[in-house]
Structure formats: C-alpha cells, structure tokens
Amino acid sequence: MLGIEAKNIFKSFGTPPQDILKDVSLDITVGDFVALTGKSGSGKSTFLYIVSGLDNPTSGDVKLSGTSLLGMNSAEIHCLRNTSIGFVFQFHYLLPELTGLENITMPARKTGTHKAMEEYALHLMESFSVLHCKDKFPSQMSGGEGQRVAIARALIQKPKFLFADEPTGNLDTINGDKVMEIFKRINKEDGTTILFVTHDPDYAALASRRVHMIDGKIAEIS
Ligand SMILES: Nc1ncnc2c1ncn2[C@@H]1O[C@H](COP(=O)(O)OP(=O)(O)OP(=O)(O)O)[C@@H](O)[C@H]1O
Ligand SMILES: [Mg+2]
C-alpha cells in the first residue's frame, strides 16, 4: 500500500518516561482526506509530527510511499520533507522579513528552481484569493490571509502528503471555511493526501474519514 503507513507507534516523553502514544497504527491510502480528532492532550499533534518526520517515535515504524522514515538519515528526511510533504501549523509561522510571494517560494529557492516556481506560487495565491498579498509582509496580512499564504507555501513543491495541525484553529468561521474549501479542492483536483487535526466536528465531517484519539490511542475510525 503506497500512502501513509504508521505501525505500532509508541512515543514517550520525560523521566520517568510517560507513554503519550500507545501502539497507534493507521493506514492512509493515496488520495485519502482524513480528519484527526480528540481532546486536548490526546496525542494528535505528537502523532502528526511523527508521521510527517518532524519527530521520531520511541518505537514503531512510519512508511511514506512505501519508504520507512526510520531508515533515513536526517539529510534524507530533510529532502523528503522538502519535496513530498507539506505541513501547515495552527499559527502560520511565515518569515516576517519576507513578502508573501517570497515566503511561498522559499522551499523552492533551496532546490534552485526559484524562477520556475514563482509562476506556480502566483497561481496558488490567485486560487486562494491572496494574490493581493504577494508584496505584503506577514505583519500586513490578516490571520486568514497569512494562513492561506502558509498553505500555498506548503503546496509549492506539489507534495503528495499534506499535514495540518489545527489549520483553522486560529481563524474565524469565514476564514476557517475558506481553508477547508482549499483542502477539499486540492484533495479532489490534485489528489493530495491530507491528514489534518481539528476540534471542529463540522470540519471533521468534510473529510472522507475521521480518526478519533483518546488518551494516546485510536479509539474510533469512521
Ligand atoms: N515535548 C514534550 N515533552 C513532554 N510532554 C509532551 C511533549 N509533547 C507533548 N507532550 C505531552 O503529550 C501529550 C499529548 O500532547 P499533544 O500535543 O500530542 O496533544 P494534542 O492532542 O495535540 O492536544 P491539543 O488539542 O491541545 O493540541 C500531552 O499530555 C503533552 O503534555
Ligand atoms: Mg495539538
């Protein structure tokens, strides 16, 4: 199965170690659109960081497109994260000294394809209704605009996988709805596999599947 395969993931923090993820296994097929729900502290972010290679599990394995993240060195993970994985955080974390357009083309700059990417960046900005932010700095954008620019940045390399940790958590309903519309669209039109965390049942209902976590375990998949 080529998609996301998380197998028997355990994660513990602290001394003495406390188990935060307790034997979590989840398969996500290519093109799937999955919402991850659960109470605060149930382990959603921890799981998302592990399946996206931002953090290592204490034990267990994660495969993306059939390749285990655990066998990779940090340069290989970095390369994978730069090309196949997009990540959107609750707070957009745009670089304050760069304009909207520069923020989006940042990942492309590193790989030396900056010029070719600029056109695609402008296309993404237009389709997410933030073209007017191309020369603005993040401090001059609204929260919703900043988040849509951050989504464009996450998508600039046309990643197979998009991970998002409460992408609407810091937005009002109108802007939250816009983010979810974008997610639905890129999942449908580009076939991007999406795993996103949300506390909002209405947004979770938009996904193809819902994975509910309780106390570090998957309690229900619907
Ligand atoms: N680096 C860390 N060191 C110690 N404990 C941690 C660390 N990261 C997370 N935890 C603990 O792991 C548990 C799960 O945290 P996590 O951030 O995954 O929860 P969450 O489901 O994303 O919650 P929220 O909805 O509030 O974002 C929490 O009890 C948290 O305190
Ligand atoms: Mg969290």
Domain boundaries along the sequence of the chain:
2-221
Q: Please name the residue whose Cα sits nearest to atom 16 of ligand 1.
A: 43
Q: What digits encode the pLDDT tens for the residues 95-126? A: 999 999 999 998 766 666 677 789 989 999 99
Q: Which residues line ligand 1 (CB under 6 A)?
A: 13-14, 20, 38, 40-46
pLDDT at 130 over 80: yes
Q: How confident is the model at residue 197 (pLDDT cuts 50, 70, 90)?
A: very high
More confident residue, 80 or 60: 60
- Compute the distance from residue 165 Cα to the ligand 2 centre, in Å: 7
In the predicted structure, residue 142 carries a pLDDT above the cut 70: yes
Q: Please name the residue that has the structure tokens 């034997």.
A: 23
d(Cα 182, Cα 169) in Å, to the nearest integer? 15
CA of 185 to the centre of ligand 1 (A): 30
Question: Topology of 2-221 in CATH?
Answer: Rossmann fold (3.40.50)
Q: Strands 209-214, 193-197: parallel, antiparallel or unpaired by DSSP? A: unpaired
Mean pLDDT score, 59-74:
90
Please compute the mean of the pLDDT values over residues 34-44 and round it to a whole number.
97
Atom number in ligand 1 closest to CA 166: 27
User: For residues 103 and 150, what is the distance between their CA atoms, to the nearest angstrom?
Assistant: 8
Looking at residue 148, its pLDDT comes to 92
At which residue do the structure tokens 């976590």 appear?
Answer: 213
More confident residue, 116 or 199: 199
Q: Is the pLDDT of residue 171 over 80?
A: yes
